[in-house]
């Protein structure tokens, strides 16, 4: 038996598992209006939806990291602004 890791990636896209789902008839009509191949449409929709969920999760984790480090990052930004002598909002620029 050949290990899955040695098969070309294209193989994954050729293998399909038949399943059955039940949808309301009005939803099926809307799906058919977009694409007569329901399976292909639902596959694309599932892939897009899962990618969106993964993006949202990644973004949530990024925000957590930024928030955890906000104090340090703000101090670094403040230090950089002072070093560059850029005016801060509501404060005049320092004169040398």
Our measurement of the distance from residue 68's CA atom to the centroid of its chain's CA atoms, rounded to an integer in Å, reads 21
pLDDT at 55: 96
13 by Cβ neighbours in 10 Å (0-12 / 13-18 / 19+) ranks as: exposed
Q: What span, in angstroms and rounded, lies between the C-alpha atoms of 44 and 83? A: 51
Q: pLDDT tens across 23-59, in order?
A: 999 999 999 999 999 999 999 999 999 999 999 999 9
- This model's pTM is above 0.75: no
């Amino acid at each position: 038996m050949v290990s899955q890791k040695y098969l070309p990636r294209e193989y994954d896209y050729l293998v399909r598992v038949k399943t059955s789902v039940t949808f309301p008839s009005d939803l099926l009509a809307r799906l058919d209006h977009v694409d007569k191949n329901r399976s292909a449409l639902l596959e694309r929709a599932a892939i897009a939806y899962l990618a969106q969920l993964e993006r949202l999760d990644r973004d949530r984790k990024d925000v957590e990291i930024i928030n955890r480090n906000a104090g340090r990052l703000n101090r670094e930004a403040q230090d950089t602004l002072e070093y560059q002598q850029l005016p801060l909002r509501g404060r005049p620029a320092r004169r040398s």
